[in-house]
Amino acid sequence: MSKYVHSTVLDDGLNAIRSGAIRMLLLKAYTLGDSYATVTGNSICEVTMASGDYALTGADGAARVLSVSAKSGAAFANSGATPDLHIAFTDSVSKVLLVTDETSDQVITLGNTVNFPSLTYTSGQPA
């Protein structure tokens, strides 16, 4: 049996990120399900996001992709000797909308420039 989801349905989840994620943070540690307070407490760098930092692409009937622009900011805290770096998107009030792994896990020092890479998040057709 064929399966299909209209692109507007796929976009709704991506639009929650695009319209609600106004902060991108670099975390020194993350555990699945961490609260907003824990996530923001583990933040060592934060940049403000604007609507122009996000783009939705993909044809109807195909996966939809949310692309996030690269950004940079200055670290306001140290990562510690063995960081488990992650990138989180928050609404800057109470919600953690998306967390992704940052695989370099390099040590970050207060005042260092942090370069957030361009990221993508895909909302796919049902399998």
Rounded Cα distance between 46 and 76, Å, is: 8
Q: What is the largest CA-CA distance in the chain?
A: 56
Q: Please write the tens of the pLDDT for every residue from 20-54.
A: 999 999 999 999 999 999 999 999 999 999 999 99
* Look-up of token digits 């957030």: 116
Angstrom CA distances, 61 to 16, 18, 71, stand at 20, 21, 31
Angstrom CA distances, 101 to 2, 13, 54, stand at 33, 20, 19
Rounded Cα distance between 87 and 101, Å, is: 6
Say what the pLDDT of residue 7 is.
83
Which contiguous run of DSSP H or E holds residue 13?
Answer: helix 7-20
Share of the chain above pLDDT 90, in %: 80
Q: Please write the tens of the pLDDT for every residue from 111-123.
A: 999 999 999 999 9
Q: Please write the tens of the pLDDT for every residue from 70-117.
A: 999 999 999 999 999 999 999 999 999 999 998 889 999 999 999 999
Say what the pLDDT of residue 2 is.
65
Give the number of other Cβ atoms within 10 Å of residue 8's Cβ.
Answer: 10
Token pair for 104: 């370099």
